[in-house]
C-alpha cells in the first residue's frame, strides 16, 4: 500500500475555490497565504469550519521556525489527515515539508495561488526549507494527492508575477514543447491552456524520474545555473522567475559559445524572452554585483557540478530539444564581462 506523499501522477481539478472546498475530506487543516485571505474573502468564508493557519508568504516562511509553528497548529490533526495549502511556492514548499514529516505523513492538496506555483512548484512533489543561510537545503519529496486550480485567485496577481510564471512556462516550452513555444510567440500569456500545458509538461518529466535519481529531471534546470547565481548575488531580492528569465539568456549564450545552440534557435528564444522584459540591459543590471569570485563560488556550489572545475548545463539544441553538456567553469566565467556590459559575448 502506498503511503501519503508517494509518487502519483497529476490529479488536477479546475474550478472555483468555494465549490472545490465541498470535496475536502473531513480531517483537513489548511495552510493559507495571509495575503490571499485578505484579497479573496470568499476563500476565508469557504474555510470557516476548518482549522486554518494563515501565514505570510516569502522566503522567510520556508524556515524551521515556521515548520514548528505549523506543527503546533496541526497537533489535533490525525495521522490520516490532509493538509490543504492555499498559496504560492513558498507556502507550497513549507506545506510539502510539513505534510511529509507531520506524524510521518499527511495527505497533501495544493491550491496554488501564484502563476509560478500553478505552472511549476505545485507539480513534481518537491518541498524545501531554507536553513543555515542556504536556500532549499532541507528538502523532501512528497507528492500531492490532488491539485486545485482556481482561476479567480490569479486575478489579483501583478504583471510582474505573471512574467515570473511565464518565465518557467517558456522554459518548459523552449526545451520540450515546440508547439507550445510557437503558441507563446503568437500570444505571450498564461491562459488556462498555457497553464495546463506547462503542468503536463513538467509532470511528464517527473513521471520518468519521480525522485530525481536518473538525471531525467535535469531539463527543468534550463536557465537555472546562472539564474541561481543572480538570485544569490542579489541576496535573494531578485525573484526566482526573474532570475530564471535572465538565466535563460545566459544559457543561450553558453550554448552558442559551446557550439550546441544554433544561432537561429538562440535568436528565436532570445526574442521571446525580450518580449517578457528579460533583455540584455536587465541582465547587465542584475549581473553588476556579480564578482568573478561570487560566480566561481556559486557555480562550485551548484548541484549540477561534476568536479571543482566543471559543471553540467542544460543547453538547447533546437526549440523543443536539449542536451546536458559538461563545461569547464572558466568557459562560463569568460562570458561574465560581456554580460555585465550588456552585450553579447
Residues 18-57 that bind ligand NAD (CB under 6 A): 33, 35-36, 39, 57
The dihedral formed by the CA atoms of 178, 183, 187 and 193, expressed in degrees to the nearest 10 = -110
Residue 228 and residue 190: Cα distance in Å, rounded? Answer: 24
Binding pattern for the stretch 138-157 against ligand NAD, x by CB under 6 A and - elsewhere: ---------------x--xx
Number of helices and strands (H, E) in the chain?
Answer: 17, 10
**What is the smallest separation between the CB atom of 73 and ligand NAD, expressed in angstroms?**
18
**What is the smallest separation between the CB atom of 138 and ligand NAD, expressed in angstroms?**
12
Query: In the complex with ligand NAD, which residue's Cβ is closer, 77 or 91?
Result: 91
Query: In the complex with ligand NAD, which residue's Cβ is closer, 114 or 261?
Result: 114
Q: H or E element: which one contains 136?
A: strand 134-141
Residue 92 and residue 77: Cα distance in Å, rounded? Answer: 19
Span near ligand NAD by CB under 6 A; candidates 100-108, 113-121, 256-264, 284-292: 113-121
Number of residues that bind ligand NAD (CB under 6 A): 29
Residue 12 in the binding site for ligand NAD (CB under 6 A): no
Residues 304-343 that bind ligand NAD (CB under 6 A): none
Binding pattern for the stretch 64-93 against ligand NAD, x by CB under 6 A and - elsewhere: -----------------------xxxxx-x
Q: Give every CB contact of residue 285 below 8 A, 6+ residues apart in sequence.
A: none
**What is the smallest separation between the CB atom of 275 and ligand NAD, expressed in angstroms?**
21
Residue 116 in the binding site for ligand NAD (CB under 6 A): yes
DSSP-H helix ranges across the chain: 17-20, 34-39, 41-46, 64-73, 89-101, 115-116, 151-154, 159-176, 178-186, 192-208, 224-233, 240-257, 263-275, 280-287, 292-301, 329-333, 336-340
Amino acid at each position: 500500500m502506498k503511503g501519503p506523499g508517494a509518487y502519483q501522477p497529476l490529479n488536477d481539478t479546475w474550478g472555483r475555490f468555494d465549490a472545490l472546498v465541498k470535496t475536502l475530506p473531513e480531517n483537513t487543516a489548511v495552510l493559507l497565504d495571509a495575503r490571499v485571505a485578505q484579497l479573496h474573502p470568499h476563500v476565508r468564508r469557504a474555510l470557516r469550519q476548518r482549522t486554518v493557519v494563515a501565514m505570510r508568504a516569502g522566503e522567510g516562511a520556508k524556515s524551521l521556525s515556521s515548520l514548528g509553528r505549523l506543527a503546533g497548529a496541526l497537533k489535533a490533526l490525525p495521522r490520516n489527515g490532509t493538509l490543504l495549502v492555499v498559496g504560492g511556492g513558498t507556502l507550497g514548499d513549507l506545506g510539502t515539508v510539513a505534510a511529509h514529516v507531520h506524524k510521518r505523513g499527511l495527505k497533501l492538496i495544493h491550491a496554488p495561488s501564484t502563476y509560478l506555483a500553478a505552472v511549476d512548484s505545485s507539480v513534481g512533489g518537491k518541498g524545501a526549507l531554507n536553513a543555515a543561510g542556504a536556500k532549499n537545503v532541507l528538502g523532501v519529496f512528497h507528492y500531492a494527492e490532488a491539485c486545485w486550480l482556481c482561476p479567480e485567485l490569479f486575478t489579483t496577481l501583478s504583471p510582474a508575477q505573471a512574467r515570473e510564471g511565464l518565465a518557467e512556462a517558456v522554459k518548459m516550452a523552449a526545451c520540450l514543447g515546440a508547439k507550445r513555444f510557437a503558441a507563446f510567440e503568437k500570444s505571450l500569456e498564461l491562459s488556462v491552456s498555457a497553464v495546463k500545458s506547462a503542468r503536463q509538461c513538467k509532470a511528464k518529466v517527473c513521471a520518468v524520474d519521480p525522485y530525481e535519481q536518473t538525471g531525467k529531471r535535469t531539463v527543468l534546470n534550463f536557465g537555472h545555473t546562472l539564474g541561481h547565481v543572480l538570485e544569490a548575488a542579489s541576496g535573494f531580492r531578485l525573484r526566482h522567475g526573474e532570475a530564471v528569465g535572465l538565466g535563460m539568456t545566459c544559457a543561450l549564450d553558453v550554448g552558442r559559445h559551446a557550439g550546441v545552440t544554433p544561432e537561429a534557435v538562440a535568436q528565436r528564444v532570445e526574442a521571446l524572452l525580450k518580449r517578457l522584459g528579460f533583455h540584455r540591459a536587465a541582465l547587465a543590471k542584475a549581473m553588476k554585483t556579480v564578482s568573478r569570485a561570487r560566480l566561481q563560488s556559486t557555480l562550485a556550489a551548484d548541484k549540477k557540478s561534476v568536479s571543482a572545475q566543471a559543471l553540467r548545463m542544460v543547453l538547447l539544441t533546437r526549440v523543443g530539444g536539449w542536451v546536458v553538456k559538461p563545461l569547464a567553469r572558466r568557459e562560463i566565467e569568460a562570458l561574465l564581462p560581456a554580460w555585465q556590459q550588456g552585450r553579447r559575448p
